[in-house]
Every structure is written in C-alpha cells, then in structure tokens.
Amino acid sequence: MKNVIEVKQLDKSYGTFKAVHNTSFSVQADKIYGLLGRNGAGKTTLMKLITAQIFPTSGDMKVFGENPYENAKVLSQICFIKESQKYPDLYNILDVLEVSKSIFPNWDVNFSMSLIKDFNLPLNRRIKKLSRGMLSAVGIVIGLASRAPLTIFDEPYLGLDAVSRGIFYDRLMEDYAEHPRTVILSTHLIDEVSNLLEHILVMDNGKLIIDQDAEELRDWAFTVTGQTSKVEAFLIGKEIVHREPFGGLLSATVIRSQNDTDRKQAAAIGLEISPVSLQQLVIHLTNGKSEQKGAIAK
C-alpha cells in the first residue's frame, strides 16, 4: 500500500527540550489513524511538522513522496484542523466557507451545506459572535467538506456537546466510506473514537511508543484477576503494565501476550480474564507510575 507520510528519525527540540524525539513511522493511504497521548506528549508538534508549519531540528520527512516545505503541490492535499483554529473576526461563516472552497480542490459545496444544517450553524453570524462549540463545529465542517487526501483533526471538539460529537463521527464514517482518504485524528476522548480507528499511534514524552493496527492492539492486552499467588504464577515471563492488589486478590494488566493460549491457560487455573479498552491501555502505557508499579513486584 502507498505511504502518504514517511518520517525517519525526526527530532524537534526547543532549547534542551525535545518535543519530538527520534520518531520514525509511516502513514498508509486511505486509513483512519488515531494519534493518542497525554498533554504535552508531542502530538501537536508532530502534526505541525507533518503539515510544514514548523521545521524539524533533524531527521527526514516525506509527505505524498515529497518534502512538504513551501510545496504547494503537497500542501494543497492537506487539511489541518487545529484545536483552536483562528479565523478573521469580521468574517461570517459563509465567508469562511467561501475561502475554504477556494483553497481545497476537492471541496464539496453540497456536503458543506448539509453539515452546516446538521450542526445548526448560523451562516451569517460573525466568527467573533460564535460560541466555542460553534467554532469547533465550523472547523469540523471544513475538515470534512474539504475531502483532502490527508485530513488531520487535532482535538477538534473543544466545547462541542455530545450530540454534535456523535454527528461528527457519523458524518465522518459515512463520507469516508464513500470517499476514502487518509485521516489522522488526535483526541483525548479515546473511548468515543476507538472503533472508528484502523491504526493507533501513541506518543509519550516526545517518543512514539505504539505504532500498531487497532485490531491487533485490542487483542494484545487483557486484565487477569484472581488469588494473588495464582496470578503471580501466571504472570511470570509476561510484560505487565499495571497491577492492583485488593485484599487477597491481584488484578494485573498484561500486554504483548499470546492472547489465545494465555487466555485458555488463565481460565484453566480459575483466573478471571477481562478486556482492556483502548483508553485504559493508553492510560496504563502513558502513566509515568506504571513502570514503578511493575518494578515493585518481582
């Protein structure tokens, strides 16, 4: 499959602070990626690098096979919706849509108008009179209606209510099914989007710690609960990201397991196996304390 983004050993430092450190990955065409991680993990920096808004300190990067910097051919294929997208205060929504139409070659006017209706947006109201949630909805309308071959949403729904977020997911999946394109979605609301994602990238402290197919990742981790001694015996040789003792019981989350055989083995000795959601998994993996917890037990 064709790679839309190829990044090799990318570094971005601000003084001694490494916002993105030695990061290599590729993004395949027409898949939906989730870029996850805590605040300050380097997600936004990475997206700004990909969209050529800042320069890397070192490393190699290709977008649509070319260097993206001041490259109109590449940049016209990218739509980047930022967390707090700024628009000229004196514009109304219609003006913003008109400008977007002239920027994005694949812009679909009918689709943009039906989205405006879905989100109940007042076309003639000025940008500075819009609520925070409405501003976010404007960004989402642009991100979807642009149908850009590479569409990036960076936490697009500040102030957006649950109903509107639901509309966003519905319209995204419907339109993606008809018009496949590469989408990178960065969000903290992992539970809401986990089923939509095909591939997961997790950043922590400037490093990419997970780069994996969503289904594989789902099948990759589980929590085992039971009598402490039995659980401890089961855990030998396994990679543990979280432990929680409770009375005489121990609950532990295991990753990178041979899921099927491990599950059968655990069930055979009377241990309870439960699934780990993507959100829980990301919390365990990016919670600085988890290593410490793992280290306390043998």
Partner 1 sequence: MKNLIDDGRPIFVQIAERIEDDIIEGGLPEETQVPSTNQFAVFYKINPATAAKGVNLLVDEGILYKKRGIGMFVAKGARSMVIEKRKEQFFEQYVITMIREAERLGITTDQLTDMIQRGDKKR
Please identify which residue in 103, 173, 189, 297 interacts with partner 1, judged by CB under 8 A.
Answer: 173
Task: Tell me the window of 41-49, 123-131, 166-174, 243-251 that interacts with partner 1 (CB under 8 A).
Answer: 166-174
In this structure, how many other beta carbons lie within 10 angstroms of the beta carbon of residue 190?
A: 19
Task: Tell me the window of 48-56, 68-76, 193-201, 242-250 that interacts with partner 1 (CB under 8 A).
Answer: 193-201
3-state SS class at 267: helix
Taking the complex as a whole, the smallest distance from the CB of residue 196 to partner 1 amounts, in Å, to: 6
Please identify which residue in 26, 84, 120, 195 interacts with partner 1, judged by CB under 8 A.
Answer: 195
**CA separation for the pair 173, 187 (Å, rounded):** 16
Please identify which residue in 198, 211, 232, 262 interacts with partner 1, judged by CB under 8 A.
Answer: 198
**CA separation for the pair 175, 45 (Å, rounded):** 28
Terminus-to-terminus CA distance in the chain, angstroms? 43
Residues 6+ apart with CB under 8 A from 172: 144, 183, 196
**CA separation for the pair 216, 211 (Å, rounded):** 11
Using rule CB under 8 A, residue 169 touches partner 1: yes
Report whether 4 contacts 64 (CB < 8 A).
yes
Size of site (CB under 8 A) for partner 1:
23
Q: Which of residues 235-274 bind partner 1 (CB under 8 A)?
A: 267, 270, 274
In the complex, the residues that contact partner 1 under the rule CB under 8 A are 31-32, 169-170, 173-174, 176-178, 180, 195-198, 214-215, 218-219, 267, 270, 274-275, 277
